[in-house]
Chains A and B, each alone.
Chain A
Amino acid sequence: MKEEELNFEKEQFSLTMIPGKFARSMRTCLIWQFIRFVIINVKMIIVVGKSH
């Protein structure tokens, strides 16, 4: 059974979004996460710069 079937089984959770297999795997995909790491850092540094 797909994981999202379990998540949506509960009524409280039925109106939200649940990541599918691909979205879940990208969270720990080293190459993708390294790219995201660089992008998030750059964005955070811009926010820090705008805040001072």
Chain B
Amino acid sequence: MARLVVLGGGVAGHTTATFAAKWLGSQHEVVVVTPNAKWNWIPSNIWVGVGQMTKEEVTFDLAPVYAKAGITYHQAKAVSINPEGSDSSEKPFVTIEYTQEGKAGETEVVEYDYLVNATGPKLNFDATPGLGDGNGQLGENTVSVCTADHAVHASHKLAEAVEKMKGGTRQKFLVGTGHGMCTCQGAAFEYIFNIENELRKAGVRDMADVKWISNESFLGDFGMGGLHMKVGGYVVSSKLFAESLYAERSIDWLIGAHTSKVENGKVEYELLDGSKGEEEFDFAMLIPPFAGVGLKAYDKAGEDITGTVFAPNGFMKVDADYTAKPYAEWKASDWPRTYQNPTYSNMFAAGIAFAPPHLISKPMKSPNGTPINPTPPRTGMPSGIIGKAVAHSVCDLMTKGENAHLHEASMAEMGAACVASAGKGVFTGTAAAMTVYPVVPDFEKYPGTGRDTDYTFGEIGLAGHWIKHILHFLFIYKAKLNPGWTLIPE
């Protein structure tokens, strides 16, 4: 019997573990190590953040689901990996530290035959002074929707702001990115439109100034260098699509901005032209930059090999081409296909945890040398698809032997769907539904836009909103492993 250990029970890790458990049956063991007791459908945190959903509606307990699937579950965080074992252990192992009540702080060693790192991002709030609290957590100046608890807190702050406006006090809302190297603009984009919609519903829109601040060099970059999409029969840049959405809702924008400092009611920023400025706010939701979760790696002798296994940003190296080269030479083929670690073939990374070869957006710097560009997004759909491909590979390696063919899932051959809702009513809600194919542009195949314009499209309306709703219920249904779950695509 061999053992697969999956680090992280989020979108990618949960997909890997549940498919592997199904495909391997009781022949082999699947272990999940994740610090969270609950699974969270993160995209719906947006609705929690405006008080339209509760935390309970977007989360569920992992333990019963893993028990049903026959998965061994440790509520713990991985601290380090020993891919060659150690003096006292021939087998590779991970060292974990429990987070579960009653066992918190206890460490344990878990041996593995195969390891999948799906630990997602560290929400690196402290990268920007005042965005974090100095201990790696969200600070007191802004709110966040990155976790369900953050989103609950954000909804309370939003309700307070609405009350103030009802009492006659004007409020300024600032939403976007909290650093020059952030990704996940899509989440902030969705949140600002939901806030705007809530303010309209509450009858206080005329008392609010709503402003977008982001590190994108143009509105609609989304960390993907923008996209050309079919809208109403035209192929247009996402810049025009996004600007239209903002203008229609009277939302100002400040782009090419590195948020350099956050204080109570004020951010300081530097722009791509090198100028510096300040923006005041009463309510701010700024996405933090992402980094790897800080796992360490040691060789058999106990020497630190973290730099061999992980890229400097803390994400795990996989089969990407990490050779430094200028933007003009970037190719779709730089992107990984199997997510296997190049040094240790029994180790894989899935979802946000893998190190991308480079940005997707054009790299930009201010004249002061400050990098101001979005880092590449690895959204839910790619994370799920990669998680499943990795599960397939590992299962084949376990059942067919070391020479089994590895399954492939390149982001340059994979699409992503992004449905950004603006409001939630069944007949009144609307959403911007966007589909992009492929996520990483392939200019050799599509020399003009880098993408297939038949499948890269966007539109605004109720239809997108219904899709967003259906996705919420479908993905939670699937993640709970309810009957027919394998039929629901990632």
B184 CB to nearest A CB, Å: 20
A46 to B415 Cα, complex, angstroms: 10
Please report A residues at the B interface, Cβ cutoff 8 Å: 6-8, 10, 12-13, 15-19, 23, 26-28, 30, 32-34, 36-37, 40-41, 43-48, 50-52
Would you call B247 and A40 a contact (CB within 8 A)? no
Cross-chain pairs A/B with CB under 8 angstroms, 7 sampled: A7-B250, A10-B252, A27-B462, A33-B461, A47-B437, A50-B415, A52-B409
B87 interface residue per 8 A CB criterion = no
Cβ-closest 10 pairs across A and B: A13-B247, A47-B415, A37-B463, A16-B243, A27-B461, A36-B463, A51-B414, A33-B462, A33-B463, A48-B489
- Closest B residue to A15 by CB, please name it: B243
Minimum C-beta distance from B455 to chain A (A): 5
Sample of 11 more A-B contacts, CB < 8 Å, known A23-B232, A27-B460, A50-B455: A10-B250, A17-B240, A33-B462, A34-B463, A36-B459, A37-B467, A44-B435, A45-B489, A48-B489, A51-B385, A51-B409
User: Is B433's CB under 8 angstroms from A40's CB?
Assistant: yes
Cβ proximity bits B429-468 to A, threshold 8 Å, 1 near / 0 not: 0100101010000000000000000010101111110110
Q: How far is the CB of B192 from chain A (nearest CB, A)?
A: 15
Docked complex Cα distance between A7 and B251 (Å): 10
Q: Check: B482 CB closer than 8 A to any chain A CB.
A: no
Contact between chains at A28 and B455 (CB < 8 Å): no
Interface string of B222-251 (1 = CB under 8 A from A): 000000000010000000100110111010
Question: In chain A, what residue has the closest Cβ to B457?
Answer: A43
Cβ of B435: which chain A residues have Cβ within 8 Å of it? 40, 43-44, 47
Interface size of B by CB at 8 A reads 37
Q: Could you tell me the distance between the alpha carbons of A44 and B463 in the complex, rounded to whole angstroms?
A: 13
Interface pair B247/A37, CB less than 8 Å apart: no
Contact A51-B248, Cβ < 8 Å, known A33-B463, A43-B435: no
B135 in the interface (beta carbon within 8 A)? no
Chain B residues contacting A8 (CB-CB under 8 Å) are 247
Which positions 34-84 of chain B face chain A at CB distance < 8 Å? none
Supposing A16-B247, A28-B428, A43-B455 touch, asked if A51 and B381 sit within 8 A by C-beta, the answer is yes
Kindly identify, within residues 312 to 364 of chain B, every residue whose CB is under 8 Å from any CB belonging to chain A.
none
Determine the chain A residues whose CB is within 8 A of the CB of B467 once the complex forms: 37, 40-41, 44
Q: A50 and B460: CB pair below 8 A? A: no
Q: Which residue of B lies closest to A46 (CB)?
A: B455
CB atoms of A40 and B427 under 8 A apart: no
Complex: chain A residue closest to B231, CB-CB: A17
Q: How many Å lie between the Cα of A44 and that of B246 in the bound state?
A: 25
Contact A28 B430 (CB under 8 A): yes
- CA A37 – CA B431 in complex, angstroms? 12
Contact, CB under 8 Å: A47 / B455: yes
